[in-house]
Amino acid sequence: MYEDPHHLKTNSIWQEVVDFFLGNPNVPKFCMGDLNNLMHVNEKCGPTPTNASRVRNFCYLVKKCGFFYLGYSGPAYTWMNKCFATNPMFQHLDRCLANAEWCAAFPRTAVFHLPMIYSDHAPILATLDSPAHKPRKPFRFENWWLLEKDFTDMAKHRWHRSNSKPFHTRTKNLVRDLKQMAQEKKKTPMSN
């Protein structure tokens, strides 16, 4: 999709999009391109203020279509005016949107903003079956571990077992052992 950069036909373009989407319910829908609109006032960096009314109107149209913003990896701004010496301006104008049916059908869709090389816009790459893995769950200390009679002795033993290793290795090993202990304890009743 390419949105009107001068915002003279924005409403008519989006009315066609809304009509198409409402006329084709329950179908995966994906919209990608230079939408020439911002979804938040912070998506612009430059000498002129963001038009908050235009932002609200665009967000309303996105919501009316049942779209979700898919996010991205890469540079935050997808357009620049290339006026480096005078009044540089950067904006996030290019994006990918999809509806709930799309997200259900292609849950591993990933969006990448690529570097601006030949154009004033950053190319966008969307992959439908991203090999990116889910981020690992961060380690969390569980308070119930302190209620276990053998916890303190086990933790001390595991910590001292790797005395000769660097600190980061010792902590990594302790975390692994604590997770393993927690899994074993969950399988058996508390020893108190």
97 forms bridges with which residues in the sheet? 31, 69
Q: Quick one: tokens of 5? A: 């950069």
Are residue 23 and residue 117 in the same domain, yes or no?
A: yes
Work out whether strand 67-69 and strand 124-127 pair parallel, antiparallel, or are unpaired: unpaired
Are residue 81 and residue 39 in the same domain, yes or no?
A: yes
Is 133 contained in some domain?
Answer: no
Are residue 119 and residue 148 in the same domain, yes or no?
A: no
Q: Which of 173, 149, 142 is nearest to 159 (CA)?
A: 173
Residues of the chain whose pLDDT is less than 70?
Answer: 1, 4, 130-136, 188-192
Are residue 100 and residue 152 in the same domain, yes or no?
A: no
Alpha-carbon distances, residue 72 vs 7, 61, 112, 124, 139 (angstroms): 25, 21, 5, 9, 26
Range of the domain at 168: 143-187
Are residue 21 and residue 112 in the same domain, yes or no?
A: yes
CATH assignment of the domain containing 23:
3.60.10.10
**Which amino acid makes up residue 12?**
S
Residues whose CB is less than 8 angstroms from the CB of residue 100 and which lie 6 or more positions away in sequence, other chains included: 66, 68
- The domain total for the chain is 2
Q: Which tens digit of pLDDT belongs to each residue from 12-35?
A: 887 888 888 888 888 999 999 888
Q: Count how many residues are written for the chain.
A: 192
Are residue 45 and residue 101 in the same domain, yes or no?
A: yes
What pLDDT was estimated at residue 97? Answer: 93
Q: Which tens digit of pLDDT belongs to each residue from 96-125?
A: 999 999 999 999 899 999 988 888 888 999
What pLDDT was estimated at residue 180? Answer: 85
Are residue 55 and residue 115 in the same domain, yes or no?
A: yes
> What is the percent of the chain where pLDDT is above 70?
90
Is 72 contained in some domain?
Answer: yes
Looking at the whole model, is its pTM more than 0.75? no
Are residue 80 and residue 168 in the same domain, yes or no?
A: no
Is 4 contained in some domain?
Answer: no
What pLDDT was estimated at residue 161? Answer: 86
